[in-house]
Structure 1
Amino acid sequence: MSAPGIAVIGGVDTHTDIHQAAVIDSVGRHLDTQSFETTSAGYGQLLAWLRAQGEVIAVGMEGTGAYGAELARFLTASGITVVEVDRPDRRARRAHGKSDPIDAYAAATAVLSGRASGTPKSRDGIVEAIRALRVVRKSAVKARTQTINQIRSLMVTAPSALRDKLRGLPTSVL
């Protein structure tokens, strides 16, 4: 299914609903770019499209821990090497413009040049479970603090008789 004798590197600019993919050859020539939905079917289409371009050496991706997390898992499970790519710095973006195809090609080029060599986090196991618990706890603490602040704020404008009854009460009783 792949183009005979051609080694290619993919690049992906990840987003919520659509990922923009690009593919370059082993000397950096831009071969093609295409967008794919962020669904299981879209991930399969992206992989088939990459393999149709040639032998896939690696895929560089921005956001393997966020918008691209599931695609990174899918590609890794399919035997593709995924490389975490940092976003281009602002100066480089101003010089070359901002577009999803440009960012996808930049991700592939960063892998080819060796500028990108990060290994994406697997986002599973005990570390991921602890991270999920910490996110939930942080949210609960924030909500509790906001509630306490709202109660205290309402006390300031409450009638004097009510305010006097509530004034010395500990937060748990309020």
Structure 2
Amino acid sequence: MTTLAQSGIQITGGVDTHKDAHTAAALDSAGRELGDRQFPSAPVGYRALLAWLNSLGALVLVGIEGTDLYGTGLARLLAEENVTTVEIDRPDRKAR
């Protein structure tokens, strides 16, 4: 049986960071959502998040909201694992 990770699917992840938990979503190269999950904002959660994304296919890119505060630890782990990351700007709350 072929798993998603073995089928050559390219994955882009997106992470919304918060103090206690990070919410991650995964998209394939056609923009279809493959799933979303929540992980603890702690080293064990960062590793679980990365393992989940990798289980879905070939991880190409991860966008992280808030790499300067709650996303710092996750961004550091992804950099150590040579995962390409981009910082996603938080929307201006006054403009919403």
Shorter-chain TM band: 0.7 to 0.9
**Residues in 1 aligned to 2:12 and 2:36: alpha-carbon distance in whole angstroms:** 12
Q: How many residues align?
A: 93
Q: Which has the higher helix share?
A: 1
Q: Shift of residue 4 of structure 1?
A: 1.8
Unaligned runs of 5+ in 2: none
Give the equivalent residue in structure 2 for 1:167.
Answer: none
Alignment pair present for 1:37 and 2:40: yes
**Residues in 2 aligned to 1:8 and 1:88: alpha-carbon distance in whole angstroms:** 24
* Bigger radius of gyration among the two: 1
**Residues in 1 aligned to 2:57 and 2:51: alpha-carbon distance in whole angstroms:** 10
Give the equivalent residue in structure 2 for 1:46.
Answer: 49
Secondary structure at the counterpart of residue 7 of structure 2? coil
The one-letter amino acid of 2:8's match is G
Q: Which has the higher strand share?
A: 2
Q: Sequence identity of aligned pairs in percent?
A: 51
The one-letter amino acid of 1:80's match is V
Alignment pair present for 1:11 and 2:14: yes
The one-letter amino acid of 1:34's match is R
TM-score (norm: length of structure 2) = 0.88
Unaligned runs of 5+ in 1: 94-174
Q: Shift of residue 89 of structure 1?
A: 5.4
Q: Of 59, 65, 69, which residue of structure 2 is paired with 1:66?
A: 69
With a CA cutoff of 8 Å and minimum separation of 6, indicate the structure with the bigger relative contact order.
Answer: 2
Alignment pair present for 1:79 and 2:92: no
